[in-house]
Amino acid sequence: MQEFIVEGLGAPMRLDRYLRTLSPNLTQGVIEKALRVGDIKVLGSKAESKRRIQDDDIITISDYIKISNKQEYQEATPSIISLAGKILGEYLILDHPDFFAIDKPCGVSSQGGSNISLSIDHALQYLNSQGHDLRIVHRLDKETSGVMLIAKNRLAATKLGEGFLGHLIKKRYIATVSGPDIPLDGRIESYLAKVGDKVIEVDEGFKGAKLAITDYKTISYGVRKVIEFAPQTGRMHQIRCHAAFSLKNPIVGDKKYGGMAHHRLKLHAKSILIPAEIFGREVLAESDGGLEKW
């Protein structure tokens, strides 16, 4: 067995998040399976991925699980090198001592996966091979554009990850929707669950149901409305589902959830507000990609 003593966190952190910082090549699937069968334990006992660990906890991991503090790196393609350059140049919104804020365009994946050979994560692997220590701390859907944070080191990644987990970091989105008249503003609360490749609204007792809360206000009104969304929780496809199911005004271009046909998903991450308690002063990262640009 491999033994690791947790150190340098400063604040409690989810076990699965910590394991990915310990070894970036560990996938969520590998982590979940190993936890289920007891091949990863905390303080000698089986644990769930959501368990919050802290400094001085001892994690034991079976020897067959490869632990490496460096991501597996394959020779970067010209497209990956080009994307890396754009992250540090064209896409850069804010260069903070602890993180970058970028304006991710529609059509660029946050992370790799099946049949994905170009992503922000691929570009970060290339940059890390050149001496950086950059880490993704949250994701945007491939079809969603807007503000995305990239931590510059492990400690910053931990602080940002805990900030997102604790809903301290506030995100705002703008979207173009279409459908019947709705109240100009309000709060949406419903339970969501993933069924197949989609997320749907379900009753509280449905297996896998999770509460999702989104505040919204209308910016412009008509057959097509522009709405600002402020998610209070971070569920998969939360804004897309609340627009489609609760408001019955799906986002334009959202084929998965019944949106009006368009060449792109009209959903944009407008801003991220990081409170002073995370890095010592409040920081606002905001995209100027207004309606005329998307």
Per CATH, the homologous superfamily of domain 171-270 is Pseudouridine synthase (3.30.2350.10)
CATH number, domain 78-166, options 3.20.20.10, 3.30.2350.10, 3.40.50.150, 1.10.3720.10: 3.30.2350.10
- The per-residue pLDDT for range 235-254, each reduced to its tens digit, is 999 999 999 999 999 999 99
- The per-residue pLDDT for range 194-234, each reduced to its tens digit, is 998 899 999 999 998 999 999 999 999 987 999 999 999 98
pLDDT grade, residue 155 (50/70/90)?
confident
Check: CB of residue 279 under 8 Å from CB of residue 285.
Answer: no
Average pLDDT over residues 156-167: 87
Cα 131–19–7 angle (5° rounding)? Answer: 80
CA distances from 232 to 33, 197, 212 (A): 30, 23, 8
CATH 3.30.2350.10 range(s) for the chain read 78-166, 171-270
> Yes or no: is domain 2-61 CATH 3.10.290.10?
yes
pLDDT grade, residue 55 (50/70/90)?
confident
Average pLDDT over residues 174-179: 96
Considering 141, 181, 197, 288, which one is annotated as catalytic? 141
DSSP 251: B
From CA 91, how far away is CA 60, in angstroms rounded? 40
Count CA atoms closer than 13 A to 96's CA, side-chain side: 24
H or E, element range at 273: strand 267-274
* Residue 73: pLDDT over 60: no
- Residue 59 backbone dihedrals phi, psi, to 5 degrees: -110, 130
pLDDT grade, residue 150 (50/70/90)?
very high
What is the residue-averaged pLDDT of the chain?
90
pLDDT grade, residue 26 (50/70/90)?
confident
pTM exceeding 0.75: yes
From CA 273, how far away is CA 184, in angstroms rounded? 24
CATH 3.10.290.10 range(s) for the chain read 2-61
User: How many percent of the chain have pLDDT more than 90?
Assistant: 66
Whether 203 sits among the annotated catalytic residues: the reply is: no
- The least confident of 13-22, 49-58, 78-87, 278-287 is 13-22
Q: What is the pLDDT of residue 244?
A: 98
